[in-house]
Amino acid sequence: MATSPVRSRPTAVFFTAANTAALTVTATSANVAIPVGGDGHLLLTNDGTNIVYIALGTDNTVAAAIPVNGTPANGIPLLPNTQMQIFAGTGTYIAAIAGATGNTLFITPGYGA
């Protein structure tokens, strides 16, 4: 079983280091390159009414999936209209998927606590 480099952190201490990327999230997985900057921490913002599932990868083939009962999938949930700070490790791309349209995932690199 592969391990994920993602570590969740509170968003209380975060300093922006580069431009924010936006990813329109639909019911089909899509990905975008993570903007370069910071120390590997990302502030993820789910602007939408659905849970967004995210996955990190090292190239543009990374895909996120929605887990179903009894079947694990490559997707970390980010609740509607919330933020989460993560450590991306070696991740250079981020993918996202939702159960419906109407979400934008904002990815901001920076320095976290």
For 67-87, how does the pLDDT look when each residue is reduced to its tens digit (9 = 90+)? Answer: 999 888 889 999 999 999 999
Residue 15 pLDDT exceeds 70: yes
Superfamily of domain 7-112: Jelly Rolls (2.60.120.10)
Condensed to tens digits (0 to 9), the pLDDT of residues 19-39 reads 999 999 999 999 999 999 888
pLDDT tier at 10, thresholds 50, 70, 90: very low
pLDDT tier at 99, thresholds 50, 70, 90: very high
pTM of the model: 0.85
CA-to-CA separations, 75 to 44, 46, 63, 67, 98, in angstroms, rounded: 14, 14, 9, 7, 10
In a 10 Å sphere around its CB, with 0-12 CB exposed, 13-18 middle and 19+ buried, how is residue 86 labelled?
A: buried
41-48 and 83-87 strand pairing: antiparallel
Residue 7 pLDDT exceeds 90: no
User: What are the φ and ψ backbone dihedral angles of 70, each rounded to 5 degrees?
Assistant: 85, -5
Residue 55 pLDDT exceeds 50: yes
